Amino acid sequence: MAERKNYRVKLKSDRDLEVTLKAAQEPASHPGEIVDVSADGVGVRFAAKARPGLAVGSEVDLRFTSTQLKKPLEVQARVRRRHEEEGAVRYGLQFLGEEQTDRKLSPILHALFNRRAAYRVEPDPELPVDVTITSVDGGTTAEGQVVNISAGGLQARLPFESDQAFARVDAVRLSLALPGSPNPCSLVGRISARILSGIVVKYGIAFDPERSENFERQTSAIFDYASKRQREILRPVR
């Protein structure tokens, strides 16, 4: 069986998004703090004094509310993990039903993603994503491959000698075509990290929403690609 990876959006005191848990064995609903969320599930923390007493394997109903949603989002989940923390209990909850994830959870993940967070995915090794990196003045160009990508940026692998040409460059234009996406992406970004790895250099590049045309449309396409890749990675091999 192939290794399963889980890319999660970590949230830091996001007061706008709230979740309430209800289980058949619990007489009351329990509001909790969302710790992280992915296409596979959600981590929720409860204060120890108000925690639900759930066994691993229990099925629960989750109700998400947010100003980003026109109406509450209700999904079912199963308790996969439980961790005791100081003054709190944290549950790892797995969403039930792939159709539910696709149809209901995409909007909430997209809303979260556009506000703050980004999870990165690696392209399918059989469908690599090439990227052309050009300085904004057009004077320097290099061809590379995407190592991972999110709606906030990407990491690209370039030949070692390319970094000499980009040594004094930080603002770049990125051109890439995502598998399954009808339109290529053309975004402006800033090189935030350069890491020597053997005979290649890995560039960490953050997208610039102010200088990129049609930024929301393009990052929406990247989000859709990342969500699809995440589901492929998380799906068990039968």
Report angle CA 95, 182, 226 to the nearest 5 degrees. Answer: 30
Closest CA to 150 of 213, 211, 229: 229
pLDDT tens, residue by residue, 155-174? 999 999 989 899 889 999 99
Pairing outcome for strands 153-159 and 88-95: unpaired
Q: 16 pLDDT band (50/70/90 cuts)? A: low
Q: 94 pLDDT band (50/70/90 cuts)? A: confident
The proportion of the chain whose per-residue pLDDT surpasses 90, expressed as a percent, equals: 30
CA distance 48 to 67: 27
Predicted pLDDT of residue 99: 58
For 76-98, what is the mean pLDDT? 85
Of residues 43 and 108, the one with the higher pLDDT is 43
Beta bridge partners of 22: 61
* DSSP label of 2: P
Write down the H helix ranges in 137-214.
162-165
CA distance 28 to 5: 34
Q: What is the 3-state secondary structure (H, E, C) of 32-64?
A: EEEEEECCCEEEEEEEHHHCCCCCCCCEEEEEE
CB-neighbour burial class of residue 31 (10 A; exposed 0-12, middle 13-18, buried 19+):
middle
Q: 5 pLDDT band (50/70/90 cuts)? A: very low
Q: What is the 3-state secondary structure (H, E, C) of 203-221?
A: EEEEECCCCCCCHHHHHHH
pLDDT tens, residue by residue, 194-211? 999 889 999 999 999 889
Q: Is 159 helix (H, G, I), strand (E, B) or coil?
A: strand
Sign of CA pseudo-dihedral 45, 10, 4, 95: positive
pLDDT tens, residue by residue, 17-65? 778 888 877 766 778 888 777 667 788 888 877 777 788 888 998 888 8
Predicted pLDDT of residue 35: 79
Beta bridge partners of 224: none
Is residue 185 pLDDT above 60, yes or no?
yes
What is the residue-averaged pLDDT of the chain? 80
All domains of the chain, ordered by start, with CATH?
9-115 (2.40.10.220), 130-234 (2.40.10.220)
If you compute the radius of gyration of the chain from its CA atoms, what whole number of angstroms results? 20
